[in-house]
Amino acid sequence: MSFNTYGQNSKTFGARYQVWSEVKGVKHGGGVIDATAFANYPVGSVIPAGTPVYLDKAGGTLKPIYFYELAETLEATDEEAVLYGNYPLSADGGNLIAVPSAIGGTGTGVAYSAAVDNGDGTHTITIQANALGTAAAGTVYAEADQAGAGAVVAETAVPNGLLLHDIVKEEGDTFATGAVVDEGRIFEDRIVAIPAAYKAVLPGIKFEKGV
């Protein structure tokens, strides 16, 4: 399996730009994104190469793990925040958490009331002033299981590789497959930031700066 989406026709897509500098190991068989989950993906959405994923077995279920990077410095008075991410945030709102330093760690979930897809890989979310406090550009967030203290990252899967190619959903696509790299070198400044704790569980992946 590779990086295809399927509906009435099959289509193959490569990365929009080169994110891998070297690919040395790819998990045998690849995987298929859960059909129910894939049905909820908006048409036109892209799961980019380099996205962290968990593959349960060769040819099994492929679960992407999404992070969102603050695109601009956030001030306490701001009621909007711009996030760069690898999956559309809910237009109807949800909860975010600054990714804890350890996988499974807790933090404070913050509600956002709406998200607007800007069409350039960023989303503008609406928040209450000071809900996220002040934060530097590059701060990494994930969807949270709840708002308030004691929140955790909603997706509990731990990645065992990174996506080799983009997956693009077009009209009529009903499922998608992806190949998983577990050994190689990637340009980390060309993908959505991956928190240090998640990099640590991917010892075969070397993260480096692009040229």
- What pLDDT score does 95 carry? 97
Per-residue pLDDT tens over the stretch 99-108:
999 999 999 9
- Domain positions in the chain are 4-65+157-208, 68-151
Is the pLDDT higher at 12 or at 113?
113
Per-residue pLDDT tens over the stretch 19-34:
999 999 999 999 999 8
How far does CA 65 lie from the centroid of its chain? 5
Euclidean distance between CA atoms 135 and 138, whole angstroms = 9
Q: What is the arithmetic mean of pLDDT over 177-184?
A: 97
Q: Token digits for 132?
A: 């996220």
Per the CB < 8 A criterion, the answer to whether 113 and 71 are in contact is no
Per the CB < 8 A criterion, the answer to whether 38 and 63 are in contact is no
Q: What mean pLDDT, rounded, does the chain reach?
A: 90
Which residue in the block uniquely carries the two structure tokens 């990086």? 3
- DSSP assignment string, 157-198: PPPSEEESS-EE--TT--EEEE-EEEEEEEEGGGS----HHH
Asked if CATH classification 2.40.10 holds for the domain at 4-65+157-208, the reply, yes or no, is no
Model pTM? 0.89
Q: Is the pLDDT of residue 16 over 60?
A: no
